A and B are shown apart, each in its own frame.
Chain A
Amino acid sequence: MKNNKFQRIRLRVSSAGETIRFNAVCDKGYRTLKGIFVSLPQDKSILGSTLGFRLNNVEVLDDGHEVKNLTASNSVAPNNKFFLFPEKVDASNGSIEGRYSDGSKYPLLVDNGEDTGVFDPGKVDFKNLSGYGTNPFTVVFPYDVIINIWLTND
């Protein structure tokens, strides 16, 4: 058996602002989750998108964690593309619960479209602003997100 495995989790995002919850099990025979790399087919879909996950019920990345920090363009060397966790993350019998949110409503509204809160003394009504609920960077749907996780026996 090899000491490294790149496991893939593929999600399909079909509309702007969609949130997808998923469950996965780490492939057996590996002790450590070393890193993660999220691959998106369109650069425009990176901004504002978030990915959080828990491993065996312990939070590794919170739900607001930006996909931007887990990906890289082709200008980055292959061996530097993964985000490597700052500590050893035990993956034996690992069960993953994750949550991916599309960020296409960014930058007008993030956080899943919630617009509660007082924004401005001028009472800006965000819902009347042009762009609300639209897709300002014209992300094309559906698209597939591939979450690559790097398992090792380190």
Chain B
Amino acid sequence: MIRGFRFQKVSLRISKSGQRVYFNTESHKDFTQLKGIALTVGHEGALYGSTFGFRIDEKEVLDESHEAHLLVFGNDVAPNRKMLLFEIPIPINSSKIEGIYTDSSLQDLLGNASYNPGGGIISKNDVNVKKTYVSGKEVVKYSNFQVDGFQMLSGSGFSIGGYSVTPAPVTVVYYPYDVKVTLLLTR
């Protein structure tokens, strides 16, 4: 017997500045709805400018430039609200779940002065998050992540790429740190 809800989890380990970790997994077969998502990030300082993209069955839910800190809920938030809850649950059926976490990806955009004098919209092409879901070219294979407690080693489909980004650290970030992705599934 299983319950009508389940928290499905994926753990990622970020080992260096600017690192990009991609994972894919499958939603638990007994559950048909995805109701919410939350992240836990090991260092608060690591949250500034780090991004998390998320797709279900190759349909984008969170853009790759979605800031990770908007998915991390602190202790001042009531336990039942510590998730980004989807008003309309996302239907799942052993669905392909993909995520991509990029450490401090937004910082290196700060130096970009090729806009109007005051600034302007940053083109999607400039945002340091490209279509890696599709191309997979910029991601070198080597990884360590866990799905529901089972350690997974590098293999096809799991990849990490390093960027030579050295953001000005506002808060010191210690590497490595872990990122936990929690998904709320219901039947």
A binds B: yes
Q: Does A9 contact B (CB under 8 A)?
A: no
Partner-contacting stretch, out of B57-65, B94-102, B143-151: B143-151
Restricting to B136-169, which residues have a CB under 8 Å from any CB of A?
Answer: 140, 142-144, 146, 148-149, 151, 153-154
Q: Does A94 contact B (CB under 8 A)?
A: no
User: Which chain A residues lie closer than 8 Å to B77 at the CB level?
Assistant: 72, 76
Q: Is the CB of B79 within 8 A of A62?
A: no
User: Which chain A residues lie closer than 8 Å to B3 at the CB level?
Assistant: 58-60, 87, 89
Q: Is the CB of B5 within 8 A of A87?
A: yes
Q: How many residues of B contact A (CB 8 A)?
A: 44
Q: Is the CB of B78 within 8 A of A66?
A: no
Partner of A66, one of B1, B146, B182: B182
Q: Is the CB of A76 within 8 A of B144?
A: no
Partner of A58, one of B1, B146, B149: B1
CB of A80, distance to nearest CB on chain B (Å): 4
CB of B18, distance to nearest CB on chain A (Å): 13
User: Which chain B residues lie closer than 8 Å to A68 at the CB level?
Assistant: 40, 75, 82
Q: Does A110 contact B (CB under 8 A)?
A: yes
Q: Does A3 contact B (CB under 8 A)?
A: no
Expressed in whole angstroms, the Cα–Cα distance for A45 and B81 within the complex equals 21
Restricting to B168-182, which residues have a CB under 8 Å from any CB of A?
Answer: 174, 176-178, 180, 182
Decide: A107 near B42, CB < 8 A? Known: A58-B2, A85-B5, A87-B5.
yes
Expressed in whole angstroms, the Cα–Cα distance for A107 and B143 within the complex equals 18
Expressed in whole angstroms, the Cα–Cα distance for A147 and B82 within the complex equals 19
CB of A114, distance to nearest CB on chain B (Å): 7
Q: Does B119 contact A (CB under 8 A)?
A: no
Q: Is the CB of B7 within 8 A of A61?
A: yes
User: Which chain A residues lie closer than 8 Å to B177 at the CB level?
Assistant: 107-108
**Which residue of chain B has its CB nearest to the CB of A46?**
B75
Q: How many residues of A contact B (CB 8 A)?
A: 48
Expressed in whole angstroms, the Cα–Cα distance for A58 and B5 within the complex equals 12
Q: Is the CB of A108 within 8 A of B176?
A: yes
Q: Does A18 contact B (CB under 8 A)?
A: no
Decide: A119 near B144, CB < 8 A? Known: A60-B3, A83-B79, A84-B80.
yes
Q: Does B20 contact A (CB under 8 A)?
A: no
Q: Is the CB of B146 within 8 A of A86?
A: no
Query: Could you list 14 A-B pairs, sorted by A, with CB under 8 Å?
Result: A47-B42, A48-B42, A58-B3, A62-B7, A62-B9, A64-B148, A65-B7, A77-B78, A83-B80, A86-B184, A107-B176, A121-B140, A131-B174, A136-B174
Interface on B for A, CB 8 Å cutoff? 1-7, 9, 11, 13, 15-16, 35, 38, 40, 42-43, 74-82, 140, 142-144, 146, 148-149, 151, 153-154, 174, 176-178, 180, 182, 184, 186
With A62-B148, A66-B180 given, can you name 16 additional A-B contacts, CB distance below 8 Å? Answer: A46-B75, A59-B2, A65-B7, A69-B79, A76-B77, A80-B78, A80-B81, A81-B78, A86-B5, A86-B186, A114-B151, A118-B153, A119-B15, A119-B176, A126-B176, A131-B174
